[in-house]
């Protein structure tokens, strides 16, 4: 996702201090379902941050599948490397005997 976390200070509520979040207009381009757009011209936009939970869960699940596939690939490559190292050692031993 092309979302940019930001920190900001509410102009209307500066006493609440610096907040962390996302730019609703940017989120709207990626996940419009969780953005609340004001009908008023120049009105504020808001977001349903809870709407991110299923998206984050799915993303974590997808990453776990990818990690599992990469683990399998690494294991297969390690097995192949071990076999190749044995083959190289065998060839070196034969070469040494022929000298």
Give the pair of three-digit tokens for residue 85: 């190292």
- pLDDT higher than 90, residue 99: no
Work out the pLDDT band at 54, boundaries 50, 70, 90: very high
According to DSSP H, which parts of 35-51 are helical? none
Give this prediction's pTM: 0.69
What per-residue confidence (pLDDT) applies to 40?
79
Distances (CA, A) of 22 to 26, 42, 51, 64, 84: 8, 18, 13, 25, 50
Tens-place pLDDT, residues 27-41? 999 999 999 998 878
- Of the chain, the end-to-end C-alpha distance in Å amounts to 61
From the centroid of its chain, how far is CA 35? 21
Where do the structural domains in the chain lie, given as residue ranges? 1-47, 53-99
């Amino acid at each position: 996702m092309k979302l940019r976390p930001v920190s900001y200070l509410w102009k209307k509520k500066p006493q609440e201090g610096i907040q962390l979040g996302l730019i609703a207009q940017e989120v709207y381009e990626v996940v419009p379902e969780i953005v609340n757009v004001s009908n008023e011209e120049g009105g504020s936009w808001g977001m349903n941050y809870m709407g991110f939970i299923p998206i984050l869960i799915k993303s974590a699940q997808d990453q776990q599948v990818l990690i599992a596939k990469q683990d399998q690939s690494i294991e297969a490559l390690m097995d192949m490397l071990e076999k190749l190292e044995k083959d190289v050692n065998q060839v070196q031993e034969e070469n040494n005997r022929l000298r």
